[in-house]
Amino acid sequence: VMLWSLQKARPLWITNLQEDETEEVEGPQSPGQLLNPALAHSISVASCGNIFSCGAEDGKVRIFRVMGVKCEQELGFKGHTLGVSQVCFLPESYLLLTGGNDGKIMLWDASSEIEKKQKSPTKRTHRKKPKKGACTKQGGNTNASVTDEEEHGKILPKLNIEHGEKVNWLLGTNIKGHQNILVADQTSCISVYPLNEF
CATH numbers and ranges of domains, the chain: 40-116+155-194 (2.130.10.10)
Q: How much is the pLDDT for 37?
A: 83
Three-class SS state of 45: strand
The pLDDT of residue 192 is above 90: yes
Residue 46: what residue type? A
The pLDDT of residue 183 is above 90: yes
Please state whether the predicted TM-score (pTM) of the whole model is above 0.85.
Answer: no
Average confidence (pLDDT) over 185-197: 90
Neighbours of 16 (CB within 10 A): 10
d(Cα 113, Cα 75) in Å, to the nearest integer?
8
Q: How much is the pLDDT for 158?
A: 93
The pLDDT of residue 24 is above 60: no
| pLDDT-derived band at 32, boundaries 50, 70, 90 | low
Cβ–Cβ under 8 Å, residues 119 and 141: no
| pLDDT-derived band at 118, boundaries 50, 70, 90 | low
Average confidence (pLDDT) over 19-36: 55
Indicate the range of 46-60, 131-145, 180-194 predicted with least confidence. Answer: 131-145
Average confidence (pLDDT) over 46-69: 95
Cβ–Cβ under 8 Å, residues 161 and 106: yes
The pLDDT of residue 10 is above 50: yes
Q: What is the mean pLDDT of the chain?
A: 80
Cβ–Cβ under 8 Å, residues 182 and 160: no
- pLDDT, tens digit (0-9, with 9 covering 90-100), for 71-81: 999 999 999 99
Expressed in percent and rounded to 5, the helix, strand and coil fractions of the chain are: 10, 40, 50
- pLDDT, tens digit (0-9, with 9 covering 90-100), for 122-177: 444 444 443 333 333 344 444 433 344 444 457 899 999 999 999 999 999 999 99
Q: How much is the pLDDT for 21?
A: 57
| pLDDT-derived band at 61, boundaries 50, 70, 90 | very high
